[in-house]
């Protein structure tokens, strides 16, 4: 059994989760600060769109943006001397794009449900801007943020379509666990594919357990 897909997936998931954590919180905060309701609604739709698009469609758009002959892809090559397509960085970008909406929606819901009096009191104390975000909003909505983090992390771990489009399925370089399952099944190695599936199942099971333990505070009995 090749453990490279496990290592690549874990490395990709950790990096993608850190990026998604910051981007999800900042995006939710900035969108809610938009006063024009129509613009806020449009931005909300755009940021949520990767959640409902087929992963291969998201991968197509990423390939269109970061392709070696596209302006953004050329700019990155000129600045960093490294292309994006078919590299490990591409696995991170794909994972961030498909998992971001889960983090964004969870954080935004948490911010919207926060008692407005807390926000008003913080404003009276002179807090504003990012001080309000990191000292009031984030600590007060940590359960929602943790839920978004767990969901987006497991989504990043299981990403397949966008990764295959942008990063390819290169053994030892961009082959994640999901791609490894596909490759082994295609090659007829069902036992090895089963090992990879077991790893994904264990991680998914633990993630759901974390969500259930965190959310199981109700005393209601039916």
The domains located in the chain, with CATH, are: 4-215 (1.10.3720.10)
Compute and round to an integer the Cα radius of gyration of the chain. 20
Contact 4, 171 (CB under 8 A): yes
Residue 119 clears pLDDT 90, i.e. is over it:
no
Residue 204 clears pLDDT 90, i.e. is over it:
no
| pLDDT band (50, 70, 90) for residue 221 | very low
Compare 210 and 111 and report the one with higher pLDDT. 111
| pLDDT band (50, 70, 90) for residue 215 | low
| pLDDT band (50, 70, 90) for residue 222 | very low
Positive/negative CA dihedral, 75, 81, 86, 88: negative
| pLDDT band (50, 70, 90) for residue 220 | very low
Residue indicated by tokens 């696995």:
91
Q: List Cβ neighbours of 183 (8 Å cut-off, separation of 6 or more).
A: 169, 171, 175
| pLDDT band (50, 70, 90) for residue 216 | low
pLDDT digits (tens, 9 = 90+) for 62-116: 999 998 888 888 899 888 888 999 999 999 999 999 999 999 999 999 999 888 7
- The angle, 0 to 180 degrees and rounded to 10, between the axes of the packed helices 88-113 and 142-157 is 150
Across residues 186-197, what is the average pLDDT?
94
pLDDT digits (tens, 9 = 90+) for 1-48: 789 999 999 999 999 999 999 999 999 999 998 989 999 999 999 999
């Amino acid at each position: 059994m090749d453990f490279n897909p496990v290592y690549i997936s874990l490395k990709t998931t950790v990096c993608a989760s850190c990026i998604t954590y910051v981007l999800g919180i900042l995006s939710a905060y900035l969108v809610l600060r938009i006063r024009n309701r129509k613009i806020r609604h449009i931005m909300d739709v755009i940021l949520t769109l990767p959640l409902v698009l087929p992963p291969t469609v998201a991968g197509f758009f990423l390939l269109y943006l970061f392709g070696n002959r596209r302006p953004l892809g050329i700019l990155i090559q000129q600045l960093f001397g490294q292309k994006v397509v078919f590299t490990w960085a591409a696995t991170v970008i794909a994972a961030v794009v498909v998992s971001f909406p889960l983090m964004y929606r969870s954080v935004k819901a948490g911010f919207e449900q926060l008692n407005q009096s807390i926000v008003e009191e913080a404003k009276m104390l002179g807090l504003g801007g990012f001080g309000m975000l990191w000292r009031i909003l984030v600590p007060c909505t940590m359960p929602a943020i943790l839920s978004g983090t767990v969901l987006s992390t497991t989504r990043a771990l299981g990403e397949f379509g966008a990764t295959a489009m942008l990063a390819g399925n290169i053994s030892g370089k961009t082959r994640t666990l999901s791609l490894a399952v596909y490759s082994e099944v295609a090659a007829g190695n069902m036992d090895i594919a089963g090992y990879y599936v077991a790893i994904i199942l264990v991680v998914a099971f633990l993630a759901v357990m974390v969500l259930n333990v965190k959310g199981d505070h109700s005393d209601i009995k039916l």
